[in-house]
């Protein structure tokens, strides 16, 4: 059974092109995973379709109300599914986490907005909280898109060439090496000689050295 993902958001149209284009779009069209996007306002019950309210205790902004989000999750959840809230104070997304999620059968992704969501949603219908990085987005829809894209790469068949996964940043705790394609000479800039040599051992050695160099410069924490 392909992985099924339900996304709950106040901005469903933000995902239209993300899910239709490129490798992710092809993976969905080929049936390697299925993604359904739901408008949280479908679960509001008043005539204004109210999804948020002022925070108890005061403070700026608005907080997403518990009723629509909890009703939405209860409507789409299945036994054993993983219910995830995208939030900057969640567990940081990593390749290992993306890979682990790619092996699940059903994910429910909740996107927040405004100042976040009522804590009772988190306490009752959320199994895991995930952050896509130490910065704050205006809402969680793009975070859900990032999570789906990152995990889809681990689903067999989504990347045409399975081996392209093995030479990526982070898979060996190193960042990726520089890539070049034709033409070999462009505006006076030449492709490094070794890449044109056909000597695969030397190419591997050169690439590994560039990976270490780049990682030391940009992400020394990965080398510890
Ligand atoms: C403005 S943020 C709320 C931030 C919250 N007040 C805080 O400081 O943790 C609105 C929504 O965007 C999403 N979001 C923002 N940054 C995110 C991140 N780095 N990772 C995942 N989701 C994020 C969450 O769903 C959140 O509910």
Q: Report the nearest atom of ligand 1 relative to the CA of 89.
A: 9
Number of domains in the chain: 2
pLDDT tens sequence across 116-129 = 999 999 999 999 99
Q: Which of 81, 137, 79 is nearest to 109 (CA)?
A: 81
Test site for ligand 1: of 14, 60, 88, most ligand atoms within 8 A of the Cβ: 88
| pLDDT per 10-residue tile (average), the chain, 224 residues | 97 98 97 98 96 96 97 98 98 97 98 96 98 98 98 95 71 92 98 98 98 97 93
Beta pairing partners, 34 = 4
Under 8 Å between Cβ of 104 and 82: yes
DSSP category for residue 65: -
Please check whether residues 198 and 146 belong to one and the same domain: no
| Sign of the C-alpha dihedral computed for residues 194, 200, 201 and 207 taken in this order | positive
Tokens standing for residue 66: 């518990």
Please check whether residues 173 and 146 belong to one and the same domain: no
**Helix or strand or coil: residue 20?**
helix
Is there a domain that residue 158 lies in?
A: no
DSSP H or E stretch at residue 134: none
Please check whether residues 146 and 171 belong to one and the same domain: no
Please check whether residues 87 and 131 belong to one and the same domain: yes
Q: What is the pTM of this model?
A: 0.95
**Helix or strand or coil: residue 89?**
strand
* Domain of 218, in residue numbers: 167-223
pLDDT tens sequence across 81-132 = 999 999 999 999 999 999 999 999 999 999 999 899 999 999 999 999 999 9
Is there a domain that residue 104 lies in?
A: yes
Please check whether residues 172 and 140 belong to one and the same domain: no
Q: Cis link prior to 183 (omega < 30° from 0)?
A: yes
Q: Report the nearest atom of ligand 1 relative to the CA of 134.
A: 19
CB neighbourhood size of 2 (10 A): 14
Is there a domain that residue 157 lies in?
A: no
| CATH number assigned to the domain comprising residue 138 | 3.40.1280.10
* Residue nearest atom 20 of ligand 1, based on CA coordinates: 131
Please check whether residues 19 and 79 belong to one and the same domain: yes
Where do we find the tokens 């030479």?
A: 167
Please check whether residues 90 and 127 belong to one and the same domain: yes
């Amino acid at each position: 059974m392909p992985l099924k993902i339900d996304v709950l958001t106040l901005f469903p149209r933000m995902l239209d092109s993300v899910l239709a284009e490129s490798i992710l779009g092809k993976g969905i069209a080929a049936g390697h995973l299925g993604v359904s996007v739901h408008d949280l306002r479908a679960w509001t019950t008043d005539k204004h379709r109210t999804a948020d309210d002022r925070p108890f205790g005061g403070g700026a902004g608005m907080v997403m109300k518990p009723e629509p989000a909890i009703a939405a999750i209860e409507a789409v959840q299945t036994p054993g599914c993983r219910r995830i809230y995208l939030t900057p104070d969640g567990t940081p997304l990593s390749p290992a986490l993306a890979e682990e999620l790619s092996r699940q059968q059903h994910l429910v992704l909740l996107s927040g907005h405004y100042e976040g969501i009522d804590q009772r949603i988190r306490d009752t219908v959320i199994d895991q909280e995930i952050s896509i990085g130490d910065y704050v987005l205006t809402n969680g829809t793009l975070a859900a898109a990032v999570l789906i894209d990152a995990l889809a790469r681990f689903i067999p068949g989504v990347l045409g060439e399975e081996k392209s996964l093995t030479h990526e940043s982070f898979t060996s705790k190193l960042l990726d090496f520089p890539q070049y394609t034709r033409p070999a000479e462009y505006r006076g800039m030449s492709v490094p000689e070794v890449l044109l040599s056909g000597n695969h051992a030397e190419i591997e050695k050169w690439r590994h050295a560039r990976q270490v160099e780049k990682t030391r410069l940009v992400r020394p924490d990965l080398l510890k």
